[in-house]
């Protein structure tokens, strides 16, 4: 009845009496809780107690003399020759350990049987209390007493616990939505022997993926569509993965593939291209077709200065995880370069990319220094009201007076500040400088001017921002109505609608106005107009630039201006550079224009001098003709 695996939990020993060393007391066995089966050395059953009869479903009268193996083992596992040749070996290790076996009852049900085997000589029984005929007949030198215990419930409980533990371990190392590995699993993988060997052999590559405009899918189709998109990308990654690779979801729409056994940049690029092609396949979701773009940065392990020596190999093995993190950082830098070049691209890491990143890191350090040393200043660009024929406001634009590079525009350093986590500090500094500039305009007598200030998502989502803004205005004696907070569609997409709506409401309750900047460059500008209560929109310069040569652009801009007029929303057209553009916008009843055709951004002192010269006759700037009589009557 053995045929099982080892198990170590304790079992109840066979009961013994005091009639001699090792004597087995059969009456005690008869009443014991454990099942006891006695076999001869050929495995034939000679006796068993009632507990064994209940356990196996066989009465003793039916099984005496039959081999136990044929009764309890599954029939398809038995071999007649092996059963016929079976003999207990007195030197076998089964007499010194417990055995766990899967056995069969008479009715065919299976259970887990924990067995303990005891080799007993005929003289070891209690002659005074044993029942007649209980022991093997004379001539048998030994017999085997087997204690049996049904541990099915214990085994199944342990199995469920192991399964639960495995599930928890899997959940801790994998993403719930896609099933891909997470950062914790990635860290463990990079520290594994297989990854360190691949790094040491220069056969490990990293692909860093980021979906292009993924937030727009969430914004226009909802989060269920966004989830389906992420799962689509996960399937593409799995399809491109080899057995030893590791596919990860490392962020909201950020994925990573660690590729083993790739030795050349071309092989890694081919893998990236397969992923790019698979992701580009249209995703059919409900009644929608979602087209997904993706950018990929790649990095491949390269030999170090000590490579080729035993010491270098040992160092490479020891520093495997650090090198893996370096590859991830390089792939991320290549991904950033791919996005800068227009998205939907594959860019392989090269030293020049690393040098640019080093320059960005240096710039981030310089920005921190510039904040501490007050190297920033505000330039103002006037806004012309076409119907009133006067300057009614201006936009505050941040400039950096860099000690080595001279004056640097905001477009050259804002993204670096964002990636370095110091954009909020820069925004607050810009706000204070802008309000200082507005105060100077008021002191100079231009108290009817409004000021537009750009605000990032990082600042707008700060719960303390409205109170700080109110204090900044009151401390300078400035009315809140003179301030217009400009937010971009990127700001909206970077935050949930409810969060951005609450932030806008807090600002508007102060009395300030809110404008949607760069309108026309995003994917869902009209949707944002309906979702967020803005006071104005700023038409992006890309729309203004096509007005003269493109009739469709004129019709679109005219329709947008008309729609905003019906909604009571102001319009500011940016990038106006020519009289022709100004005349088209004037005919379309666009209220405000801004651009080089009116004036370039200038320091506050220069702005005050400029206003004294041009505020009373701004038409001279663009050489605008006077309004026709009917148009004049409309004002």
- Residues 232 and 295 grouped into a single domain: yes
In a domain, 169, yes or no: no
pLDDT of residue 522: 52
Based on the domain organization, do 220 and 143 belong to the same domain?
no
Count of C-beta atoms within a 10 Å radius of residue 413: 23
Backbone dihedral region of 108: left (phi > 0), alpha (psi from -120 to 50 degrees) or beta? Answer: left
Mean pLDDT of 563-569: 87
* Residue 17 three-state SS: coil
The closest of 616, 614, 578, 611 to 595, measured between CA atoms, is 578
Q: What does pLDDT average to over the chain?
A: 83
8 A C-beta contact, residue 396 and residue 402: no
User: What number is the average pLDDT over the span 613-626?
Assistant: 62
Q: What mean pLDDT comes out for the span 527-538?
A: 74
The rounded distance, in Å, linking the Cα atoms of 618 and 610 is 11
- Whether residue 481 contacts residue 507, with contact meaning beta carbons closer than 8 Å, is answered with no
Which residue shows structure tokens 């109840």? 12
pLDDT at 25 over 60: no
- In this predicted structure, the answer to whether residue 388 has a pLDDT above a threshold of 70 is yes
Q: What is the pLDDT of residue 491?
A: 62
The Cα–Cα gap between 444 and 333 comes to 48
Residue 361 lies in a domain: no
Clarify whether residues 141 and 181 are in a common domain: no
Asked if residue 148 and residue 27 are part of one domain, the reply reads yes
- Same domain flag for 143 and 234: no
Mean pLDDT of all residues in 260-272: 91
Contact between residue 489 and residue 528 where contact means Cβ atoms under 8 Å apart: yes
Q: Encode 371-397: b = buried (16+ Cβ within 10 Å), e = exposed.
A: beeebbbbbbbbbbbbeebebebbbbb
Same domain, 192 and 134: no
User: Of the residues 105, 127, 156, which one is the last residue of a structural domain?
Assistant: 156
pLDDT, greater one: 443 or 621: 443
* Judgement on whether residues 452 and 497 belong to the same structural domain of the protein: yes
Under the banding of pLDDT at 50, 70 and 90, the label for residue 58 is very high
pLDDT at site 489: 65
Let me know: does 296 contact 339? Beta carbons within 8 Å.
no
Give pLDDT, residue 51. 93
Q: Which residue has the higher pLDDT, 6 or 121?
A: 121
Q: What is the CATH number of the domain that holds 247?
A: 3.30.70.270
Helices (H) and strands (E) in the chain — how many of each? Answer: 27, 23
Using one digit for the tens of pLDDT, what is the confidence trace for 311-356? Answer: 544 454 444 556 888 999 999 999 988 988 887 899 999 988 888 8
Among 23-32, 447-456, 564-573, name the one with the lowest average pLDDT. Answer: 23-32
| Within a domain: 368 | no
Q: What is the CATH number of the domain that holds 48?
A: 3.30.450.20
DSSP 43-88: SBEEEE-HHHHHHHS--HHHHTTSBHHHHHS-GGG--HHHHHT---
Whole-angstrom Cα distance, residue 421 to residue 414? 11
Q: How many Å apart are CA 208 and CA 187, to the nearest integer?
A: 15
Nearest to 122 by CA among 109, 110, 133, 136: 136
Quote the percentage of the chain above a pLDDT of 70. Answer: 81
Task: Indicate the range of 2-16, 182-196, 296-310 predicted with least confidence.
Answer: 2-16
Residues 144, 231 share a domain: no
Query: What is residue 131's predicted lDDT score, i.e. its pLDDT?
Result: 45
Banded model confidence at residue 526, pLDDT cuts 50, 70, 90: low
Q: Given this model, what pLDDT does residue 275 score?
A: 93
**Residue 447's closest CA among 475, 476, 485?**
476
Q: Flag whether 534 is in a domain.
A: yes
192 and 93 in one domain?
A: no
Global pTM? 0.58
The residue ranking higher by pLDDT, 18 or 592, is: 592
The predicted structure's pLDDT at residue 128: 45
**Whether residues 457 and 578 fall in one domain:** yes
140 backbone φψ class: left, alpha, beta (φ>0; ψ -120 to 50): beta
Is 115 a member of any domain?
A: yes
- Contact between 221 and 228 under an 8 Å Cβ cutoff? The reply is no
Under 8 Å between Cβ of 181 and 247? yes
217-231, 392-406, 486-500: least confident range: 486-500
pLDDT at 15 > cutoff 60 = no
**Shared-domain flag, residues 554 and 512:** yes
- Parallel, antiparallel or unpaired: strands 390-402 and 346-348: unpaired
- The answer, yes or no, to whether residue 75 has pLDDT greater than 70, is no
pLDDT at 7 over 70: no
Look at residues 96, 122, 156 and tell me which one is the last residue of a structural domain.
156
How far is it, in rounded angstroms, from Cα 559 to Cα 332? 42
Q: Can you give the residue range of the structural domain that contains 80?
A: 5-156
| Mean per-residue pLDDT, 356-384 | 92
Most confident of 448-452, 460-464, 529-533: 448-452
Q: Is residue 356 part of a domain?
A: no
DSSP lists the bridge partners of residue 381 as 395
pLDDT (0 to 100) of residue 20: 41
Query: Residue 83's closest CA among 94, 73, 93, 91?
Result: 73
Residue 81: its pLDDT value, please?
Answer: 78
- The pLDDT of residue 8 is 39
Distances (CA, A) of 276 to 246, 272, 292, 585: 17, 6, 10, 42
Number of domains present in the structure of the chain? 3
Q: Supply the CATH number for residue 506's domain.
A: 3.20.20.450
Range of lowest pLDDT (140-149, 461-470, 622-631):
622-631
Cβ atoms 420, 367 nearer than 8 A: yes
Task: Say if 555 falls within a structural domain.
Answer: yes
Q: How far is CA 36 from CA 132, 339, 413, in A?
A: 17, 75, 84
Instruction: Measure Cα distances from 600 to 394, 397, 440, 577, 609 in Å.
Output: 11, 11, 19, 10, 14
Q: Which of 156-170, 383-397, 611-625 has the highest mean pLDDT?
A: 383-397
* 12 C-beta neighbours (distance < 10 Å), count: 12
In this structure, of 96-105, 426-435, 440-449, 458-467, the range with the lowest mean pLDDT score is 458-467
Residues 481 and 593 in one domain: yes
Angle, nearest 10°, between helix axes 351-372 and 320-340?
Answer: 80
Residue 466 lies inside a defined structural domain of this protein: yes
């Amino acid at each position: 009845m053995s045929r099982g695996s080892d198990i170590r939990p304790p079992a109840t020993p066979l009961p013994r009496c005091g009639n001699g060393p090792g004597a087995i007391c059969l009456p005690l066995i008869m009443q014991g809780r454990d099942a006891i089966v006695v076999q001869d050395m050929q495995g034939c059953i000679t006796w068993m107690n009632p507990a064994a009869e209940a356990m196996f479903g066989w009465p003793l009268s039916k099984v005496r003399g039959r081999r136990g193996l044929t009764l309890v083992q599954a029939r398809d596992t038995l071999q007649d020759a092996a059963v016929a040749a079976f003999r207990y070996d007195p030197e076998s290790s089964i007499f010194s350990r417990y055995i766990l076996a899967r056995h069969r009852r008479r009715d065919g049900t299976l259970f887990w049987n924990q067995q303990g085997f005891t080799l007993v000589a005929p003289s070891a029984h209690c002659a005074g209390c044993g029942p007649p005929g209980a022991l093997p007949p004379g001539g048998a030198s030994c017999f085997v007493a087997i204690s049996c215990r049904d541990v099915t419930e214990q085994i199944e409980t342990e199995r469920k616990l192991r399964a639960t533990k495995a599930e928890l371990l899997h959940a801790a190392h994998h993403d719930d939505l896609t099933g891909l590995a997470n950062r914790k699993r990635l860290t463990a993988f990079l520290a594994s022997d297989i990854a360190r060997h691949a790094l040491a052999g220069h056969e490990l590559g990293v692909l860093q993926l980021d979906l292009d405009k993924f937030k727009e899918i969430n914004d226009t189709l909802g989060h269920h569509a966004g989830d389906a998109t992420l799962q689509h990308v996960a399937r593409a990654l799995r399809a491109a993965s080899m057995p030893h690779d590791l596919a990860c979801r490392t962020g909201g729409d950020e994925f990573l593939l660690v590729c083993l056994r790739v030795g050349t940049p071309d092989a890694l690029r081919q893998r990236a291209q397969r992923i790019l092609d698979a992701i580009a396949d249209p995703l059919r979701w409900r009644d929608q077709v979602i087209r997904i773009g993706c950018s990929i940065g790649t990095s491949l392990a390269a030999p170090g200065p000590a490579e080729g020596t035993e010491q270098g190999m040992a160092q490479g093995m020891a520093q495997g995880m650090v090198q893996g993190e370096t590859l991830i950082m390089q792939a991320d830098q290549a991904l950033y370069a791919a996005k800068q070049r227009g998205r939907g691209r594959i860019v392989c890491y090269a030293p020049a990319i690393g040098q640019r990143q080093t320059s960005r890191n240096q710039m981030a350090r310089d920005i921190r220094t510039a904040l501490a040393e007050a190297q920033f200043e505000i330039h103002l660009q006037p806004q012309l009201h076409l119907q009133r024929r006067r300057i009614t406001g201006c936009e505050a634009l941040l400039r950096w007076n860099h000690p080595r590079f001279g004056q640097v525009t905001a477009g050259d350093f804002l993204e670096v500040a964002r990636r370095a986590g110091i954009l909020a500090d820069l925004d607050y500094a810009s706000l204070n400088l802008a309000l200082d500039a507005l105060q100077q305009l008021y002191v100079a007598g231009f108290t009817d001017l409004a000021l537009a200030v750009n605000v990032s998502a990082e600042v707008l989502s700060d719960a303390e921002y409205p109170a700080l803004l109110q204090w900044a205005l009151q401390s300078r004696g400035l009315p809140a109505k003179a301030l217009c907070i400009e937010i971009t569609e990127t700001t909206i997409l970077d935050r949930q609608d409810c969060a951005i709506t609450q932030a806008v409401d807090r600002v508007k309750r102060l009395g300030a106005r809110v404008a949607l900047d760069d309108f026309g460059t995003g994917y869902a500008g009209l949707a944002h107009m309906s979702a967020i209560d803005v006071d104005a929109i700023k038409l992006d310069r890309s729309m203004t630039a096509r007005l003269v040569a493109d009739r469709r652009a004129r019709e679109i801009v005219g329709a947008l201006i008309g729609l905003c007029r019906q909604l009571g929303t102001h319009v500011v057209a940016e990038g106006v550079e020519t009289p022709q553009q100004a005349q088209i916008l004037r005919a379309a009843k666009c209220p405000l224009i801004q651009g080089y055709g009116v004036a370039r951004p200038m320091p506050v002192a220069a702005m005050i001098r400029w206003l004294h010269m041009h505020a009373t006759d701004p038409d001279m700037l663009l050489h605008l003709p006077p309004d026709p009589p009917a148009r004049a009557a409309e004002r």
